[in-house]
Amino acid sequence: MANFLDSLGMGGEIDVYVTVSPSCGMEMTTLDAHGNINTYAQIPLDYNETQREILSYDAFKDGLEQLFDSRNINPKKAKVHLSLPSVWFGLKEGIQLLLDDDAITNIVLGELEQTYIFKRKDPRPSWFEALASTNSDSRSVFYTALQEDVIERLTTIVEDLGATLVSIGNEIIADLKGLLVTGIASEQMNDDSASWSLMIINNSGFQLIGLRGKSMVEYYEEPLPIKSYEGEEIYSAIENAAQIAFMNSASSSLVIVSETNLVSAEILAKNLQFGGQKIFVEDNKYRKSPLIEMSLNVIPEDQIKVSLHTLGSIVSDSVLPISVDFLSSGNQKAVVDNVIEIPLGNDKFYRLTPPVATVAAIALAIVLAIPMVTGSLIVSSLSKSATEKVSELDNQITEVDEQLKKYDKSKDATQFDPVAEIEKVLKNNRTKIMAYAALGESIPKNLYLTYFMTGNDGYIDVKGCADSVEDVYVFFRNLKDSLAGSNLRLSKLDLKTNSLDTVVNSTMSTIDNAPYVFEITNMSDDQLTSFMNKLMGKEDKPAAPAASPNPAPQPAPTAPVSDESIDDEEG
């Protein structure tokens, strides 16, 4: 009856929750007076995973209108809460404690402008602080962003239908809320001392989030061409890439959420080498039962379709310590919800807000200060000699502390730090693996590699041949986009011989017939010359000083590049 009245324009406003994801398309949900799912509908919607935005906004508008009609909802009475896939999510460490919010926002914008997505489009950022260490002299922030023009398009579409767009959320935050309300990870999230990890697999790779209770402490993203693997190769590729991240994790449990139909979370959980508890969540075609019990208003066929993303989007933001809304004014710093609910019995709670807590703290401080001040005056008048002794002891303690600091410094100067060495090795190996992965994704059909080298100091040198200059340009452009910040350049492009006979007479594309040779590197000409002379055992004049203090890189095996070459390089 309520939906019928809404369709006639006679009902009140209604909250409508809409989510978009590559695996589930577009989902629409409404709630009853008790906060339970009242209606649900879903339609396919194509998503551009390369550009990380909806493929067709006309299709989005038509689909949204279709969902309103299928649920008999009058758009003019609808308050739309929209949640979108995570376009970009990252962690920035080492920020000075004295910087204000505006300065941190500028730092976040600088990080976002280095990504391939926001080099062409303006970002709308949102950030929040990571769980701080008690002895840290700096702070870290997690940041995320959406394309500014995407927000404007979606707002216009919703308003054209007569509805009101009230918020735009983030899928990662929604997944965390979904894991809490479904009870899947409630044990881990309700224990502030519990260290656990969340692994989200999609068609672009996987994200690994380290948490302590409900607070994020670490983030790692590994891009993988999931669609290019077949069968068991997918699980082996994910396992190999994840082992590096697991080595630096102290998590006692791992929650695996698969949002792609290409990967079963259950099979992946069996293959992963993880010492703690493993919990898998099928958010794809492998799901066998609904993630949560629902009312009979939602038919069983639809209950099993409701995604974790949708279940989290309908939950109040107060269940987590942070809330991300890209539509809020300014939207630079995420909202931190500091409200504490104190149970009073009979399902009643007293909400302790920051203003109320401040007033209570001041009143308590005054009450405690009265006897403390009185006692201080009495002690001051009666124990003057004791104060002098305390001062003398303080001086002795200060001298001892200074001696201990000197001892610690002399000890640290000669002590080997195994943790720093391990982190250095992990960082170098991860950089090399990313270089190999980027290389594999960027090779065109008629281009062949004859030489590839990457070293511990970030140097890269690639040689090969191709059928056309266009193939070389495409390869160079793709490789440079994949390895942002590597300062790659095309140092050489020439014919193999001084004649064009090979180009004219070639009828089959092979490595021998490819007429053009090229070299791509991020080293200077002097560094290349010096490096090649060392490989050939020749003496050479000293090259220009390199930017990195690390030793010269060692060459990787020549093409074809294989898994064995990666193992040799890591060794």
Domain ranges of the chain: 1-182+294-328, 186-290, 428-570
More confident residue, 503 or 166: 166
331: left (phi over 0), alpha (psi -120 to 50) or beta: left
Per-residue pLDDT, 510: 80
Rounded CA separation 309/23 (Å): 11
| Beta carbons of 455 and 549 less than 8 angstroms apart | no
CB proximity list for 290: less than 8 A, separation 6 or greater: 303, 304, 306
Q: What is the pLDDT of residue 553?
A: 46
Pairing state between β 277-282 and 253-258 = parallel
Domain pair 1-182+294-328 / 186-290, same fold: yes
Of the pLDDT bands very low, low, confident and very high (cuts 50, 70, 90), residue 549 is very low
30 to 156, 312, 314, 315: CA distances (angstroms): 22, 13, 8, 12
- List Cβ neighbours of 334 (8 Å cut-off, separation of 6 or more): 126, 127, 128, 322, 323, 324, 325
User: What's the rounded mean pLDDT across residues 233-246?
Assistant: 87
Whether 70 has a pLDDT exceeding 80, the answer reads: yes
Average pLDDT over every residue of 116-133: 86
What's the distance, Cα to Cα, between the start and end of the chain in Å? Answer: 69
Per-residue confidence (pLDDT) for residue 257, from 0 to 100: 95
Q: Is the pLDDT of residue 555 over 70?
A: no
State what percent of residues in the chain have pLDDT above 70. Answer: 78
- Minimum mean pLDDT among 59-63, 110-114, 129-133: which range? 129-133
pLDDT tens track for 29-56:
999 888 888 899 999 999 998 889 999 9
Report CA torsion sign: 508, 509, 512, 518: positive
Residue 16's pLDDT band, with cuts at 50, 70 and 90, is: very high
Confidence band, pLDDT 50/70/90 cuts, at residue 418: low
Q: Using 50, 70 and 90 to split pLDDT, how confident is the model at 72?
A: very high
Is the pLDDT score of 131 beyond 80?
Answer: no
**What tens digit of pLDDT does each residue of 488-532 get?**
898 888 988 654 665 556 666 788 888 899 999 988 888 888 888
pLDDT at residue 21, rounded to an integer: 92
9-13, 337-341, 443-447, 559-563: which has the highest mean pLDDT? Answer: 443-447
What integer pLDDT is reported at residue 357 of this predicted model? 66
Cα dihedral across residues 455, 433, 107, 337: positive or negative? negative
Over the stretch 248-266, which tens digit does the pLDDT of each residue have?
A: 777 889 999 999 999 999 9
Are residues 493 and 469 in contact, defined by beta-carbon separation less than 8 angstroms? yes
Candidates 3.90.1560.10, 3.30.420.380, 1.10.620.20, 3.30.70.980; CATH matching 1-182+294-328: 3.30.420.380
Show the tokens assigned to 501.
């006979």
pLDDT score, position 20:
95
The count of C-alpha atoms lying within 13 angstroms of the C-alpha of 165, restricted to the half-sphere facing its C-beta, is: 22
Q: Which residue has the higher pLDDT, 369 or 334?
A: 369
464 touches 517 (CB < 8 A)? yes
> CA 237 to CA 436: how far, in whole Å?
13
CA 456/CA 431 separation, integer angstroms = 8
**Which residue type is seen at 448?**
Y
pLDDT band at 442 (very low <50, low <70, confident <90, very high): confident
Angle, alpha carbons 313-314-318 (nearest 5°): 85
pLDDT for residue 420: 67
CA 424 vs CA 64, 250, 320, 427, 554: distances in Å: 50, 18, 34, 5, 17
In this predicted structure, the answer to whether residue 564 has a pLDDT above a threshold of 70 is no
Across 66-70, 369-373, 429-433, least confident range: 429-433
Mean pLDDT of the chain: 81
The answer to whether the beta carbons of residues 48 and 28 sit under 8 Å apart is: no
User: In this predicted structure, what is the pLDDT of residue 487?
Assistant: 86
Residue 391 confidence class, pLDDT cut points 50, 70, 90:
confident
Helix (H) or strand (E) holding 403: helix 384-414
pLDDT number for residue 556? 43
pLDDT tens, residue by residue, 444-490: 888 999 888 887 777 889 999 998 899 999 999 988 888 877 888 98
Q: Which fold has domain 186-290?
A: Nucleotidyltransferase; domain 5 (3.30.420)
pLDDT at residue 354, as a whole number: 58
Determine the average pLDDT of the residues in 290-297: 85
Residue 125 has pLDDT above 50, yes or no: yes
DSSP character at residue 333: B
Better-scored residue on pLDDT, 187 or 347: 187
Is the pLDDT higher at 358 or at 146?
Answer: 146
* Amino acid 175: pLDDT: 93
